[in-house]
Chain A
Amino acid sequence: MPVSLLWAVDVYGRVYSLSTAGQVWEQCRDAQMEFKRVTAAQQCCWGIACDNNIYLNIHASDLPVRYQEETYENQRWNPVDGFSERLLPSDRWQWSDVTGLQHQPLDNFRLPSISWEWEGDWHADENFEGEPTEKGGWTYSMDFPATYTKDKKWNSCVRRRRWLRYRRYKAMDTWAKIPPQQTMLPDPFSDISCGGWEISDEPSGRLSLWAVSLQGKMWFREGINHHNPEGSLWEEVPLPAEVVQISCGPGDLIWAVLWEGQFIVREGISRDCPKGTSWAVVDSPSPDVAATHVAVGMNVVWALTKDNKVWFRRGVNSHNPCGSGWINMVGEMIMLNVGLNDQVLAISCEDRAVYFRQGVTSSELSGKTWRAISVPRDGDRSHSSASASSLQSAGCYFCGEVRAQSVVSDVESDTDKGSLDGASHLVASISPISPESFVDAPTDHSEEPIDTPKAPVLEEEPIPGEEEVEAPSAGVAISSMATYTLAIEDQYGADEHPLWAWVSGGGCSVDSHSQLNWFNSLVQSVQSMSLSVTPAQTAAWRKQIFEQLSERTKREMDNFRHYEQAIEQSVWVKKGTMQWWRDWKPHKWIDVHFALEQFSGPEGNKDGILFIYYNFYEEKKYLHAFINEVTILVPVLNDSKHSFAIYTPERTKQRWPIRLAAATELEMHDWLALLSDSCCNSRGIQGPPSKQAAWSVTCKGDIFVCEPSPSLEAMPYPTPCDQMFWRQVGGHLRVVECNSVGIVWGIGYDHTAWVHTGGYGGGFSQGLASSTDNLYTQVDVKSVYIYENQRWNPVSGYTNRGLPTDRYMWSDASGLHECTKTNMKPPSPQWTWVSEWAIDYSISGGTDREGWQYAADFPASYHGYKTLKDFVRRRRWARKSKLTSTGPWQEIPPISLIDVTILPCAAQSSVDVVPLWAISNKGDVLCRLGVTTLTPAGFSWLHVGTDQPFKSISVGAASQVWAIAKDGSAFYRGSVSPQSPAGPGAKMYCWYHIPSPGKQKLKQVSVGRTSVYTVDENGNLWYRHGVTPSYPQGSSWEHISNNVRKVSAGPLDQVWIIADKVQGSQSLSCGTVCHRLGVQPVEPKGQSWDYGIGGGWDHITVRGNSMEPPRLPSLTAPAPPSPLPVRNMEVNGNAVGC
């Protein structure tokens, strides 16, 4: 069987093909734009692109596509001139078609589209009826119209000859727009299906192409054949009602789905009438559930209903195209397609994988089972890549160049509006990300990241949050944490395997006997554990060994079973059942047995191993991790799974943790508490976090703390970031800031300010792992959003009746998941509703008075007003939810904050006042009075005047204060002293405006001992160059890195960031803690990044770590000059200040 192709479109509109001989989805790279649908024949593939035009991709073959244009030159004899172009008035034109009725001068011929080229110039056809004329091609006759002969006779009064010119179709193997209709079609196409090639061989390459428009009209493309592959024109097909989808088989079967949820079946199709003559109606398989989709083959009809059930139509054949009855089949699909030989392909509801129906034969047309096609895409990273290469590739998102302004910060503006209209604060995003900038990022690996799987854990990221999700330009769906989307389970590894939107097997020549390598490519690569088995199992020597071993057992053991075992089995084992997000594709939750075996380690410390026992194709296997290698336990609560992730350094490199789910929340907490306890024990960590601790926060608001080792900032070999051990601290925060005397403040999602009480534990950890006092109830509030989607239809305007293939009428931002007001649950069981659903008018792009945003089609960019071209609209609904937890945090009422910063260096004594600055949610700069190590909460706020609202602030070790205004520019404030924390004359204006680096809007600042770092809205990290004691505001911005969401500069001038994207060997993680390597006094900008825990991390602060690393005798660098003397700085600062 020759090699042929299966075509598919993923949810991002990328077109892929899979060869029947291949094992990889190859992306159709030449596609200039994203596609919605494809329909394939063996020689070509048609598609609807996101511009709603129809494109054709003809496979190159040895047989060129040529079209012969012809026209006739006509002449009449007269006695004066002989044969000449002077014709009688009643004659035909001098240049005409063969009938003489059409005027056809040579220059009237135009190429039908840019896909064609002329092969040469016009020439007279010298041949007539197969014989050379030898007379310039003239043929003679008595008069028009008559019989022509090649010989001139006495009575030949007229003559004519044929002129020929060939044009050749040149747009092979590429997507070419088919020429637009002369008369514009009224509305864009929404579905397309080709087939009908079995009806007739004449003309060669003939096929039928049917299309459906958004308004529910149906069109038939006339005149498609080998020589005219684009066809000639669209002809409307009369319908009994509006149609939403159509399927055309290779033969005479054509079914379509009506808006109303029934089917219509075309009748009267024949060789002479490939369009058919009339429609018959067939009801939906289920009386209460509308049909949504149909797929037909030669002799089969498959259909889907709105509940995603799969139906097979019995008794279908040429004579009875309507068939006789429905059979419900296994599986839940969103789309079906019947390919050649009635083979069936489908896209599953659950994982959006393409499934192939196995066992479809002519005698068993309904087949046997669904089997997932599990081959990688050509851009997918190999799973076998070694960690060395993964480390290398981890940096592929960083590059030296400044990332250009490419997005409008939607989320930020959301926030602004949220706070303006006084509604409680919509959760602000730290970092809106542009998918475009990601794709366009000028890296050496630029083609790689596009398809790489994304981080499987804590992803706000893969959760399509904002409108970009399926938008044509979006390479990857990224969202901000502002939108809390549920159905998170589906998101794990959501992009790990491709999410398909459409598949077409019309060009794919397979049957039930085909050898396909599309399935379970993993099986071969996973070796069974069986050891070598040698032949001759019955050999005497082997038999003798078995017998002797058995005797040995009797002799040495049977009588002594009561003896104590020398090696105690693990001190104790806790076992349970859990679900595990399995490592192989397709990834899904499978039931596993879980055991934690704890024992006393050789040196007396407690250690343990955790085991996950699972079945791999009926073989029992297990996975394990040593407790002393676990670096973090991350709870991943969502509404359907009580799950958590376990990382080791290796798993961090892979960006692929062990993911487990317990049956109940309580069980999960038990396990987490136990495991966490065990991890802390094995590392000898107990009690409250130290003053030097690094704090970080995930996008779920979980708080983690890490005890830095002295060598964390060592030169040249610091502790690798992925080896840092993080333990959780109870509570829920968006931001944590600390300093090296142990003052720690936090800000909740609801902007409430909190101060760390010095306790530890809380949250899920009870008993030993928690301090007995210092734990308080903590409350946080955030909003959950859902979208109401509507489509315009000609009958009733905008309604909640979408196309069957549309997104859900109530959905998340991506449209992929149904989210209704009733089924929507709070983000996790920890959260409860505290308000009713309300329309959210503050969404970016604006809304009309009812909150609607309009667009031409899903998904697209939305605007807040309706135009004639808009066929869909949506609006966002918000509902507030509240989380109650416990943690070592005490509220600091009443002012809501968006940023806070604490002087990082050590205070002289416990009563020394520590400068602490903050920004209120209105943008006011505040200074907290009375903050000491004994009274970390301080006692009151001092308002510091500014010209405009601010959004970020940071105070350095020399009390130098830098801030970012809402307009994205930076400000430096003349030095402040501990005695006068707000600076000289707090009421006076003494902010120095510092222009932001070229055209970039800054969003965050962090000041260490001397160095000043900022991050802009495009993810660029900037270093302030030229900061000296005499010129503390510095001279210029120097670009350090892109791919940065947040920065934390510490008291050693150490630099840590949250990186936007980090590629691991197995997956991609978004929101990753990274450490700048090579930072030293002579090189304060450092050299490269080391990658730590992620993804899903939103915030880190290392401003507590003032622990000087052990000094190694420096071989290369000269003795470091002493850092900028703090005292000088103050003096100078004062001098500069106003």
Chain B
Amino acid sequence: IMADDKDVLRDVWFGRIPACFTLNQDEVTEREAEPYYLLLPRVSYLTLVTDKVKKHFHKAMRAEDAEEMWFEYEGTPLKWHNPIGVLFDLHASNTVLPWSITVHFKNFPERELLHCPSNSVIEAHFMSGIKEADALKHKSQVVNDMQKKDHKQLWMGLQNDKFDQFWAINRKLMEYPTDEGGFRYIPFRIYQTTSDRPFIQKLFRPTSPEGTAHTLGDLLREMYPVALPTDGEPKRYQVVIQGIEPLPETPLQWLSEHLSHPDNFLHICVTPVPSD
């Protein structure tokens, strides 16, 4: 049975990554802290969904020993402001599940991570992403036409994992004039592990001046040519979006509409093919 495109939206939204949270061994504890297992929503943010983790480990610690919680995977501090799915695809896509995340309560890596004192910081970050994306897609017209409660609904939808609630509003952000064949520019970000650059983000239109649809391949050719396989050579890079590797001929506009994160950006992870 050929699935409906709408099902893609559901699959994307309800994507989960099993994670095992272990307390960093250097933390001072009063008793032994068991690992904590959790299904993390791919489209959410680490600090938004780890209240339970925090409570769990706090129980094993003295309050004064617990500073701001942060996470690390194999030595890399995990940037909470990137969606969980992006963190996973970028750093751990070839790991054995569950994804093993180390929890820290001290030595906050100030240079690598943003502080996240409350959910309102996440909300602000999330909304600024949506606004930036709409600036690219519709010159901000859609997001500016929305009421505050619509904005709130987008956030509440994400926070409470309410697909319908979120999409009731988000669909407006996904509309475009049919005669234009797509958004003004595709909001995308290309992440790579091999560079210190946080990500690549440039202006890129969904269609060529001649009117043909741009594909994922076209985008990569422009932004990150090495990510594309060359004929006759083994594939060197994986191009992962939402945990899958779409074909290079996939239309970019379709990807933007269906595989974007709730912040309306198409987050593309380029990682070297594991040499096993």
Residues of chain B from 6 to 44 with CB closer than 8 A to chain A in the complex: 6-9, 11-12, 15-18, 37-41, 44
Interface residue B119 (Cβ < 8 Å from any Cβ of A) = yes
Say whether A624 contacts B37, CB under 8 Å: no
Interface residue B254 (Cβ < 8 Å from any Cβ of A) = yes
Q: Out of B5, B156, B245, name the residue touching A533 (CB < 8 Å).
A: B5
Say whether B165 contacts A565, CB under 8 Å: no
Say whether A532 contacts B52, CB under 8 Å: no
- Which B residues touch A542, using CB under 8 A? 5, 250, 254
Given contacts A566-B49, A566-B50, contact A602 B2 (CB under 8 A): no
Q: Out of B9, B15, B39, name the residue touching A566 (CB < 8 Å).
A: B39
Separation of A548 and B15 alpha carbons in the complex (Å): 12
Nearest B residue (CB) for A552: B243
Nearest A residue (CB) for B164: A622
Say whether B98 contacts A531, CB under 8 Å: no
Interface residue A154 (Cβ < 8 Å from any Cβ of B) = no
Nearest B residue (CB) for A599: B160
Separation of A529 and B247 alpha carbons in the complex (Å): 28
Of A530, A537, A560, A629, most B-chain CB atoms within 10 Å: A560
Say whether B50 contacts A602, CB under 8 Å: no
Q: Out of A560, A567, A650, name the residue touching B49 (CB < 8 Å).
A: A567
Residues of chain A from 289 to 308 with CB closer than 8 A to chain B in the complex: none
Interface residue B168 (Cβ < 8 Å from any Cβ of A) = yes
Q: Out of A530, A548, A567, name the residue touching B244 (CB < 8 Å).
A: A548
- Which B residues touch A384, using CB under 8 A? none
Interface residue B246 (Cβ < 8 Å from any Cβ of A) = yes
Chain B proximity of A38: nearest CB distance (Å) = 45
Given contacts A560-B98, A564-B37, A602-B120, contact A545 B251 (CB under 8 A): no
Given contacts A555-B97, A559-B97, contact A569 B161 (CB under 8 A): yes
Residues of chain B from 150 to 209 with CB closer than 8 A to chain A in the complex: 152, 156, 159-162, 164-165, 167-168, 171, 174-176
Interface residue A406 (Cβ < 8 Å from any Cβ of B) = no
Of B6, B39, B156, B162, most A-chain CB atoms within 10 Å: B39
- Which A residues touch B174, using CB under 8 A? 531-532
Separation of A1025 and B49 alpha carbons in the complex (Å): 63
Q: Out of B5, B246, B247, name the residue touching A531 (CB < 8 Å).
A: B5
- Which B residues touch A551, using CB under 8 A? 244
Interface string of A562-598 (1 = CB under 8 A from B): 0111110110000000000000000000000000010
Interface residue B63 (Cβ < 8 Å from any Cβ of A) = no
Q: Out of B2, B12, B15, B119, name the residue touching A537 (CB < 8 Å).
A: B2
Say whether B254 contacts A566, CB under 8 Å: no
Say whether B97 contacts A556, CB under 8 Å: yes
- Which B residues touch A548, using CB under 8 A? 243-246
Say whether A629 contacts B149, CB under 8 Å: yes
Say whether B119 contacts A540, CB under 8 Å: no
Say whether A534 contacts B251, CB under 8 Å: yes
- Which B residues touch A560, using CB under 8 A? 16, 18, 39, 97-98
- Which A residues touch B17, using CB under 8 A? 556
Chain B proximity of A1135: nearest CB distance (Å) = 56
Give chain B's interface residue range (CB within 8 Å of chain A): 35 or more
Nearest A residue (CB) for B53: A566
Q: Out of B16, B39, B118, B168, name the residue touching A529 (CB < 8 Å).
A: B168
Q: Out of B18, B41, B168, name the residue touching A567 (CB < 8 Å).
A: B41
- Which B residues touch A529, using CB under 8 A? 167-168, 171
Say whether A556 contacts B247, CB under 8 Å: no
Of A551, A556, A624, most B-chain CB atoms within 10 Å: A556
Interface residue A147 (Cβ < 8 Å from any Cβ of B) = no
Q: Out of B152, B165, B244, name the residue touching A549 (CB < 8 Å).
A: B244
- Which A residues touch B97, using CB under 8 A? 555-556, 559-560
Nearest B residue (CB) for A565: B39
Q: Out of B162, B250, B257, name the residue touching A545 (CB < 8 Å).
A: B250
Chain A proximity of B275: nearest CB distance (Å) = 20
Say whether B249 contacts A540, CB under 8 Å: yes
Separation of A565 and B18 alpha carbons in the complex (Å): 9
Say whether B38 contacts A563, CB under 8 Å: yes
- Which A residues touch B259, using CB under 8 A? 545
Residues of chain A from 92 to 114 with CB closer than 8 A to chain B in the complex: none
Separation of A168 and B167 alpha carbons in the complex (Å): 67
Given contacts A549-B11, A566-B39, contact A602 B44 (CB under 8 A): no
Q: Out of B6, B7, B165, B175, name the residue touching A624 (CB < 8 Å).
A: B165
Chain B proximity of A648: nearest CB distance (Å) = 9
Interface residue A544 (Cβ < 8 Å from any Cβ of B) = yes
Separation of A553 and B39 alpha carbons in the complex (Å): 12
Interface string of A112-152 (1 = CB under 8 A from B): 00000000000000000000000000000000000000000
Q: Out of A534, A564, A597, A599, name the residue touching B52 (CB < 8 Å).
A: A564
- Which B residues touch A557, using CB under 8 A? 15-16, 18, 39
Say whether B160 contacts A563, CB under 8 Å: no
Given contacts A531-B9, A560-B16, contact A566 B40 (CB under 8 A): yes
Interface residue A546 (Cβ < 8 Å from any Cβ of B) = yes
Separation of A548 and B98 alpha carbons in the complex (Å): 19
Say whether B18 contacts A545, CB under 8 Å: no
Separation of A542 and B162 alpha carbons in the complex (Å): 26
Task: With A532-B175, A563-B37, A566-B39 given, name 11 new contacts (CB 8 A).
Answer: A534-B5, A537-B2, A540-B247, A545-B246, A549-B8, A556-B97, A557-B39, A560-B98, A566-B50, A602-B119, A609-B162
4 closest A-B pairs by beta carbon, nearest first, are A560-B18, A548-B244, A566-B49, A541-B250
Q: Which residues of B contact A (CB under 8 A)?
A: 2-3, 5-9, 11-12, 15-18, 37-41, 44, 49-50, 52, 97-98, 118-120, 149, 152, 156, 159-162, 164-165, 167-168, 171, 174-176, 242-247, 249-251, 254, 257-259
* 14 A-B pairs whose Cβ atoms sit less than 8 Å apart in the complex: A529-B167, A534-B251, A542-B5, A543-B2, A546-B7, A548-B244, A552-B15, A557-B15, A560-B39, A560-B97, A566-B39, A567-B161, A602-B159, A609-B156
